[in-house]
Amino acid sequence: MKLQLAYDLGTYEELYPFMEEIEEAVDIIEIGTPVILREGVSQIENVKKRFPDKLIFADLKIMDAGKLEADIGFQAGADMVSVLGLASKKTIEAAKSSAIQWNRKIMIDMINLEDPIRKWADFMEMEMDYGCLHTAHDDVTDGENSLETVEKFHEAHGGQQISVAGGIDPEKIRNLKSCQPEILVVGSYITTAADPSKAVKTIRQVMNEISV
């Protein structure tokens, strides 16, 4: 499994020293939607320059103007951008055409999608690169558990090309032992920790335990 850090709460300038503490344990750096809304995408190129060995994911959550908005993310230096699974087929295909042009990747965010198991088959036919089983932040706050969805999805499609996001912590990772995704997305457990280095080591340790 790969570890994706969801960086939502800080600034670009704060990201650099933060990542330097934990970069060895992280595979993918996600520039979260809140950061992009606050500060834009222009600094993503600098993130890629500082961490050239990491995949840089811009969580744009594209819903319309698929090619235009994907182009913006890729031109800014992102290796991968997100498109909402709720978007129209034309929008998703347009974003994919941008990814092909730039030789980059698309992540389909299946947040609030009614039937992700059925829809992922459609997205696979459209040659999407990754899909994210994403429990919304507000639902995580309310204690909603998406484990059953992940288990059923895994039975149908396996875990390749799939990420799981939303309130991920060591306990939830242990519950994924029988339905492991390719990518685990962890945000606040690391980014709000008193000791982020210790937190990310704990995450990695549990990931290694369930991978045995």
What is the domain extent for residue 174? 2-211
| Token couple for 18 | 């933060």
- Determine which helix (DSSP H) or strand (DSSP E) holds 31, and give its type and residue range: strand 28-31
Output 168 or 147, whichever has higher pLDDT.
Answer: 168
95 torsion bin: left (phi>0), alpha (psi -120 to 50), beta (else): alpha
- What is the band of 146 on the pLDDT scale with cuts at 50, 70, 90? confident
**In this predicted structure, what is the pLDDT of residue 73?**
99
Instruction: Give the residue-averaged pLDDT of 123-133.
Output: 98
pLDDT at 143 over 60: no
Say how many domains are in the chain: 1
Q: pLDDT tens for residues 30-45?
A: 999 999 999 999 999 9
Question: The CATH number of the domain where 66 resides is what?
Answer: 3.20.20.70
**Based on the number of CB atoms within 10 Å of its own CB, is 106 exposed (0-12), middle (13-18) or buried (19 or more)?**
buried
- Determine phi and psi for 88, rounding to 5 degrees: -70, 160
Q: For CA atoms 34, 205, 211, 27, give the dihedral sign.
A: positive
**In this predicted structure, what is the pLDDT of residue 144?**
56
CA distance 130 to 127: 9
**How much is the pTM?**
0.96
* Helices 89-102 + 66-75 axis angle, to 10: 30
